[in-house]
Structures are given as structure tokens and as C-alpha cells.
Structure 1
Amino acid sequence: MKSKAHTRVETKSSLLDTIFLSEKRKTLLLLLKEEGPKSSEDIKDVLDFPWKSITPQIKKLTDWGLVLEDNGIYSLSDMGAVIASNAEFFLNTLSVYEENLDFWSDHDVSPIPSYILNKIGELGHVKIIEQDFSNVFQLPEEVMTNLMSSRSIMSFISIVHPFSLLLLFEYLQKDTEATTIVTEKVLEAFQTEYNSDIPLLKTSNPIINKALIEYKKEIKKVFRSKVSDFMVYEGDLNPISLIVTDKIFFLSLLDKKGRVTTRFLIAFEPQALKWGEELFMYYKERSKSVPSSLSTL
């Protein structure tokens, strides 16, 4: 005689098989979730199979009480809707990981809090870009175009990089709202570099020397701007570098040995931007404004 526990395990396994071992059943569940009740003709057109081959799949879903039929119209039951939503969430998570397996396997994701990482399926389709070492300071045109046409920018800077500040200056020139978070080490580097009387680059070339002086002046404008909200991160997690705008999400992670890599992730879909903004807000909540420190730059 089978125990109740054994029966529950068998039932659970059978339900998983019912949903995930048939592409037709899985597609039908997601179709009804996304678009609502459908007629047999609608279902046949979407699945692109003869109705005779579809009816056995629908019967399995109706036997489990996931799909209901009323005068030839099929819809999800209450529990069917719950299960379909969770199945979609699970499938999206698998898709994001599977499509970019090397990136997620090679990089340290610990700076992403678990409650946000658990929603990684919301990123949708992302692109992994690998820069050549010879062009490591040059962002791809696709990234630059989206950054420069954005109406707002939120950035986290964990590595001193001239591009980061120059990008901010471009935003401020257009009175674009900008929020920037840096680590304490990056802040110290900025303060030391721009308060020091020692030239950034020792050279006898007057043109370069003049350019460096102007560069310092422009960077000071970034820190003193009323449009820019400048903060320093006080959290314990190993920080990451990210940029979130109304058009693009950019994410750079260290590898699992704590080294900087030349690969980064970009995404453009609205749900990805929302995911990136939530990650940025996590860091913002653990940061403080530093207007008094930066006004001395």
C-alpha cells in the first residue's frame, strides 16, 4: 500500500510532467494566461497543429483542473492562472540563465541581493558584449547612442574610469537628471586627484597641459552641479558597476576571483530597466549624499 506522502510525490511529479513535457500544453497555458479565453480555432491557429492532435493535450489540462471549457471557449481556472504565472516565471529564469550561461557562471553575482536575483527572469532578452583589450575604454556605438539620448541616468561607479565622469558631464550639459553612487575608495581617488597640485600627466606639451587643466575644471562642475545627486556607498557587499537610464541597463560584474573582466551585460526591455532600477535603489538606500566633501574639489 502506498503512503500518502508517496502519493503526493507521484501527483506532484505527474503535474510537472503534464506542464513541462509537452510544448503544446506549455504553450497553451501561457497563451491563455497572456491573452485570456480562446476558441478552438484560435488555439489551433497559434499552435499550428491539427485540432485532433491538440484535443488530447487540452484534455490532460482539463483533467488537472487547469483549463476550463465552456461552449467551445477555453480559459484558465483560478489555480490554472496561478500555476501558469509561476511556470512562466520559472521558464523566463531558465531562459536568461541558459542564453548567457558563460556570463552568469564566470561572474560573481553575490553583490546582487537574493530578492532581486530571484527575479532575474524579468531581464528578458539581454546581450553580452565583450570588449577587446585594445578598446577597453571605448563603449560600443549601440550603448553610447542609447546613453546619450536618455533623459535620466543612475550610475554606480566602483572603478575610477575617465569615461564615467565625462558621461556625467555630457548629461549635465543638457540639464539631464543624474544620480551617481561611488565607493569610498573611488571618492578618495577623485578627491586626491583633483585637489592635488601634482599634474595628472607630466608632460612638456603645452596643449596637453592646457587640456588637463580644462578637464579638471569640467569635472569639478560635475560634482558641484545642482542637477547631479552625488552619493557614496556605505554597504558591505562587494560593489559592482551599473548604469540605468530610461533606455538602457548596463551591468558589469567582477569574475569569481574578484578580477575585472571585459564582458558586460546590456538590456533594453522595460522590465529589464525596472529590474536594474530596483538594483540601483538597493545601493542608493545604503549610500549617503556627500555635497560638503565634493564642494571642496
Structure 2
Amino acid sequence: MTAIETKQQLTKEYSGVKYILTSSMRAKLLLAVYELPKNLDELRKDLKKPSATILHGLKELESINLVRKANKYYELTSNGYLLTTNMIKLIENWNSLGKSEIFWDNHDLSDIPEEIIKSIYLLKDVQYVNSTTSDLSISFNEYIKLISKAEELQIVLPIYSENHYKHIIDLLKKGSLKKLELYVNEEIYNSINDNEFFKSNMLECEKVKITIVNKTSKVFLTCSDKFISLTLFFKDGHYDDSQILIGKDENAIKWGNKLLNSIKK
């Protein structure tokens, strides 16, 4: 899925909640009762609006089966809960895309499954690092600094990069990196195998497990229990080492592991 297709998908979802988003009162009412039912007094206190305004909004939501009244309390229907959940995710997705818009717009996203793209809101707190014309190594150096602190790594490695391999081997030799799982295609595996230094220090290293994946991935993904990092390919097929996303929060790690599991399969 490309960045354009991603935005088209989000736009399609937007049409389902357009009626809600065009009224701040309707949206606020749904959010107000999203966690638990509330009565009119509680809604008036939360929203700081008069009863007439709130009741008008509730009546509109009841008429389209998003809210129902039960024993003086207003609660979401099943449809209301699903729509509100999608509304929250949609807003967070747009927010996530906006924070690193250049990254998503410039790259090929075809190897990221649609269901994982739709949970991109989990990356709302990632750090976007971009190299500059005066220093082309900013992103790479940030990546090396990141992995140097990890004891275990899982890496989807879609490129043959001696520079990356040498740094990884250095971490293995120092003993700071205790376990490494690599996922590479057959061509990259053969290239590593043809290099005696890389072969002895990676393929024959007891700390390293290499899995050959059938498909050539356009995703360079690194996962640990403390962070994930992501670099991608340009739409013309060339690998881009100038831009990287780094996530250290629980949601970003969750997203990275979902993507890793999809690649493993």
C-alpha cells in the first residue's frame, strides 16, 4: 500500500464519521459516554453546556442508533461504540501521519499490510530523524547508537550493507549484543555467506539465528524490548538510509512487533 492509498483508506473511513465530526457537540457527547454511561447532570458538568443543547445532540444521536437512554443514563449502542472507536483511531492516524508526513509520503509502503497501516496511530509518539545535506550520516549514526544499547535484537534486513554488518559484528564481539535474529532473503544470505569475515562472525556465530524469508522485503525493521526502528525504500526501489522512525514507547513497540510477525508469516 502506498502513502496515497493509505490516505485514501483513511479518507474512506472518514466518510463514516463525517456526520459526527461536522458537529463538535455530537463528537463530544460520544466521547463523553465512551468509557461509561452518564446522566444529564454529569454531561452538563463535563461539557459545560446547557441542558437544551445537550439534549438536542443526544436526540440526534439516538435517531441514528448511536446512543440510547437507560434508566436516566445515556450510553453508546454497539454501533455507537464501533463508530466512536473508529473516530478516535482516525484522528490519531491523521495525527501520526502529520508528525512524520514526509517519511510516509516519500516511501514505498507496499510491504506493510493494510491492517497494520490502519493501526498507524500507535506511532503517534515516534521520533522522526532526517539526515541533512551537510551530514548524510545522522540517521545511520542514530541507528547505531540505538542498537548499541540492546541485548537482543530482531532485524528484518532487506539490504546487503557491509557498514551495518560490521557494526553488528562489533556488538556481538564486545558481548553487549547477546542474541540476534536476522530475517533476510536468499540473495542477501548468499552474499553474506560469500564473505568469509561475515560468514564466520554472523552465520557461524552461536548468538545469531538467521531465517531466510521467501519474499524480498522493502522494510528495514529492527525490534527489541526497548525500541523499534523503521527505514524504508523510495518508490523507485532504492533504499533510503537518510530517514528513520524510532519508537521507544509501548504502543510503537507493539506496532513494530505486529509488522515483524506479519513478515515472519
> Could you tell me which residue of structure 2 aligns to residue 106 of structure 1?
106
> Do 2:151 and 2:177's aligned partners in 1 also have CA atoms closer than 8 Å?
no
- What is aligned with 1:184? 186
- Structure 1 segments unaligned to the other structure (5+ residues): 1-12, 196-215, 286-297
Structure 1 residue 183: Cα displacement: 3.2
Provide the residue aligned with 1:250 in structure 2: 229
Q: Secondary structure at the match of 1:252?
A: strand
Judge conservation of contact 2:151–2:176 (CA < 8 Å) in 1.
no
Q: Which residue of 1 aligns with 2:263?
A: 283
Q: CA deviation at 1:130?
A: 0.4
Corresponding residue for residue 171 of structure 2: 170
Q: Determine helix, strand or coil for the equivalent of 1:93.
A: helix
Shift of 1:277: 1.4
> What secondary structure does 1:158 align onto?
coil
Give matches, 1:208-223, under 5 Å: 216=197, 220-223=200-203
Alignment CA distance shift 1:70-1:56 (3 Å): same
In structure 2, C-alpha distance between the alignment counterparts of 1:41 and 1:152, rounded to whole Å: 53
The answer to whether the Cα contact below 8 Å between 2:37 and 2:76 also exists between their aligned partners in 1 is yes
Task: Indicate the SS of the match to 2:33.
Answer: helix
1:135: how far off?
A: 4.5
Q: Secondary structure of 1:230's partner?
A: strand
How far 1:177 moved relative to its partner? 3.4
**RMSD across aligned C-alpha pairs, in angstroms?**
3.3
% identical equivalent positions: 21
CA contact (8 A) 1:249 1:267 kept: yes
CA displacement, residues 224-258 of structure 1 (integer Å, 9 cap, x when unaligned): 333321122321x4532111112222111111122
- Tell me the TM-score normalized by structure 2: 0.75
Aligned match of 2:7? none
Separation (CA, whole Å) in 2 of partners of 1:29 and 1:187: 53
1:193-212 residue pairs with structure 2 within 5 A? 193=195, 195=196
1:27 pairs with 2:11: no
1:108-133 Cα shifts (integer Å, max 9, x gaps): 11122334334333433333210235
Unaligned runs of 5+ in 2: 1-13
Cα distance, 1:170–1:238 mapped onto 2, change above 3 Å: closer
Instruction: Give the residue type in structure 2 aligned to 1:61.
Output: L
Q: What is the aligned counterpart of 1:269 among 208, 224, 249?
A: 249
- Rate the CA distance shift 1:185–1:65 in 2: closer, same or farther, 3 A: same
Which of 187, 202, 206 is equivalent to 1:226? Answer: 206
| Counterpart residue number, 1:76 | 76
Number of aligned positions between the proteins: 247
Distance 1:241 1:105, change over 3 A: same
Contact 1:18 1:61 in 2 (8 A): no
Counterpart-to-counterpart distance in 2, 1:257 and 1:177:
34
Q: Output the CA distance in 2 between the equivalents of 1:148 and 1:254.
A: 24
How far apart, CA to CA, are the structure 1 residues paired with 2:162 and 2:44? 55
Per the alignment, residue 295 of structure 1 pairs with none
Number of the residue aligned with 1:241: 220
Cα distance in 1 for partners of 2:252, 2:116 equals 12
Q: Is the 2:17–2:83 contact (alpha carbons within 8 Å) kept by the matching residues of 1?
A: no
**What TM-score, normalized to structure 1?**
0.68
Counterpart of 2:91 in structure 1 is: 91
Inter-CA distance 96–63: structure 2 relative to 1 (3 Å threshold): same
State the structure with more CA Rg.
1
SS at match of 1:38: coil
CA gap of 1:20–1:138, structure 2 versus 1, over 3 A, is: closer
Q: Shift of the alpha carbon at 1:45?
A: 5.2
